Structure formats: C-alpha cells, structure tokens
Amino acid sequence: MANSAQAEKRARQAEVRRAHNMSLRSTLRTAIKKVRKAVAAGDKTAAQTVFNSATSTIDRIADKKIIHKNAAARTKSRLSAAVKGMAV
C-alpha cells in the first residue's frame, strides 16, 4: 500500500486512468462486434456503414495508445476483408 502522499495520489490517478481505459476498450470491442454481427447477418450495406464507424472508433482508440497501432491496423484489415468478402 502507498506510504506517502505522492504514492497515494499516483494510486488514485492510476485507478481513474484504468477505469477510463477500460471504458474505451469496451467501446472498441462493441464496435468490432457490431461489424461481425452485420457480416454474419449478410447485409452488406449495413455492414459497410457499421464498418466505417468502427474504423473511426478503432483509430481514435489507437491514437490514445489504448491498443497498439499495428493491432488497430490488423483489426481494421480483417474486418474490411470480411465486409468485402460478402456476397452482393
């Protein structure tokens, strides 16, 4: 446990930051699930629309370093391939 005022403050700040990062990560997972659900449903126009919004969400979270930029690129690439691979 923290033994100094400085260490106690750092612990408080770390907890607030952790909660905020968890919220952002949850938003990211939800966006990815929405794209996968639209692809599974077979509606290409809906999947494309959801993919576009998910792309901006993924980029925004990668910019904040919640996930690595390469992980974001890989996720977007795989989602894009899934959307493009759908029958018209």
Q: Is the pLDDT of residue 1 over 70?
A: yes
Q: What is the pLDDT of residue 2?
A: 81
pLDDT category at 88 given cuts 50, 70, 90 is: low
Domains and CATH numbers, the chain: 5-84 (1.20.58.110)
Q: How far apart are CA 85 and CA 66, in angstroms?
A: 29
Specify the amino acid at residue 87.
Answer: A
Q: What is the pLDDT of residues 8-61, one digit of tens each?
A: 999 999 999 999 999 999 999 999 999 999 999 999 999 999 999 999 999 999
Q: Which residue has the tokens 């699930």?
A: 33
Q: What pTM, to 2 d.p., does this model score? A: 0.86
Q: Check residue 87 and give its pLDDT.
A: 76
